[in-house]
Amino acid sequence: MACEKTDFLIVGGGLAGLSLAVELESRAVEFRIVDAPDWPGACQACAGVVNPVTGMRHVLSWKSEQLLEALLTFFKRWEGRTGKQYLRSVPLFTSLQSVFDENQWMLRSGDPVYQDYIGRTVRTGLFENCSMEDQRFGQVHRAFRLDVSTWLKDVREWLRLQSRWVDDKFSADELICTPNTLQWKDMRIEKGIAFAEGIRVLENPYFGWLPMNPLKGDALVISCPGLHLQAMIKSGHALVPLGGEQYWCGSSFVLGDRSQHPDPEFMMKIDAWLKEHLKSPFEILEQKTGVRPASRDRRPVLGPHPGDSRLLVFNGLGTKGVSLAPYCARTLADFLTTGTPIPHSMSVGRFDRWIVPLPHQNQGTGKLS
């Protein structure tokens, strides 16, 4: 039987893999993408929030301007071709819980660099049926929310219609990888394989040496008909409107935990937080859990393995996957199509001290010769 041929194979169909797929398709690059349809990913549990101002000192996120430009360009192009809206500008208010918080906020508000991001401070009377009377909030501008689940579903269906999607679980043991050949099952890969596997990178025989940490997050989806909240709120936990009467509430940040089961203690705490702050009755619709891949320095990891430029990685998006994915996909696509160097702050090469040599051929299964 003749082998199917493609230039690139993308392994992983989450935010990273699908963003790269859309970017490569826009450049008329031939590719296939493989993922198991029932394989859990961190993006299934996230709220899709894009917040450019983070941390206790309310500082701008790393590369905030570049990330927002890439995000808006990416989804404007995608929404233009589908006629559907996935990314929306949503007001975001972050709690200023101390005098120090308020002082830091006021300090940023006077800085020209923050002019487009830091807004006024408000009292909680702004939030109907949400009781946080003793708190002051700062308004964050240029905040967005992506309808992640709908976007993932629609892109996967689009890829299936193009015969680019492969419903399967990738195993490196089925990869024939010699100096002249890359072949997975009946597919010959002419140029390279991009591994966008999220936390599964820890089992990857080529990139498992990267200093990546599991970062688990738990969250709830609730129904609260009386809330009528049109803004995202951060006050210890985050409360995010999903549309209709549904809201996302979370999340925890547990380093090193890879379990796919919600933590009962955290769920009790977040339930108590909701009962304290919501004046209207609510119903818990769903408990969500996701394990995010976080690099040692909290930066994305892109590019080829130092031992074989045909093997590439797209990982380390951490808690800011929605913000980072379009910019990183563009950066990696530039490298793949024009050879544009990947900045050192994002490249695999910055972790040279951890590199493990590529495996040698072992009984003809998926290993380099």
Note the pLDDT of residue 363.
34
How do the domains of the chain map onto residue ranges? Answer: 4-45+149-211+297-354, 54-145, 214-294
Query: Among residues of the chain, what percentage have pLDDT more than 90?
Result: 69
Q: What's the pLDDT band for 19 if we cut at 50, 70, 90?
A: very high
Q: What are phi and psi of 236, to 5 degrees?
A: 80, -60
Q: Among 3.40.50.300, 3.30.9.10, 3.40.47.10, 2.40.50.140, name the CATH number for the domain at 214-294.
A: 3.30.9.10
In angstroms, what CA-CA distances link 203 with 37, 61, 163, 170, 346?
A: 19, 30, 28, 12, 21
CA distance 17 to 195: 8
Note the pLDDT of residue 320.
92
Examine domains 4-45+149-211+297-354 and 214-294 and report if their fold is the same: no
Q: What are phi and psi of 35, to 5 degrees?
A: -165, 150
CA distance 25 to 30: 7
Looking from the CA of 133 toward its CB, the CA atoms found within 13 Å total 2
Query: Is residue 362 pLDDT above 50, yes or no?
Result: no
Closest CA to 346 of 312, 369, 310: 312
Query: 4-45+149-211+297-354: which CATH architecture?
Result: 3-Layer(bba) Sandwich (3.50)
Contact yes or no for 339/314 (Cβ under 8 A): no
Averaged pLDDT for residues 271-288: 92
CA distance 142 to 90: 8
Query: Is residue 42 pLDDT above 90, yes or no?
Result: no
Note the pLDDT of residue 261.
85
- In angstroms, how far is CA 256 from the centroid of its own chain? 18
CA distance 47 to 219: 9
Q: Hey, which bits of 269-321 come out as E strands?
A: 283-295, 301-305, 308-315
Closest CA to 248 of 258, 259, 257, 240: 240
Sign of torsion over alpha carbons 285, 140, 329, 252: negative
Predicted TM-score of the model (pTM): 0.93
pLDDT in tens, 50-63: 999 987 778 899 99
Averaged pLDDT for residues 28-44: 84
Note the pLDDT of residue 125.
65
Average pLDDT, the chain: 90
- Strand 187-195 with 181-184, pairing: antiparallel
Averaged pLDDT for residues 124-145: 81
29-43, 153-167, 226-240, 321-335: least confidently modelled range: 29-43
128-132, 156-160, 322-326: least confidently modelled range: 128-132
Position 49, amino acid: V
Contact yes or no for 146/47 (Cβ under 8 A): no
Averaged pLDDT for residues 321-344: 97
CA distance 53 to 229: 21
Query: Is residue 99 pLDDT above 70, yes or no?
Result: yes
Note the pLDDT of residue 201.
94
- Tell me the three state secondary structure of residue 210: coil
CA distance 23 to 337: 11
Q: What are phi and psi of 223, to 5 degrees?
A: -110, 130
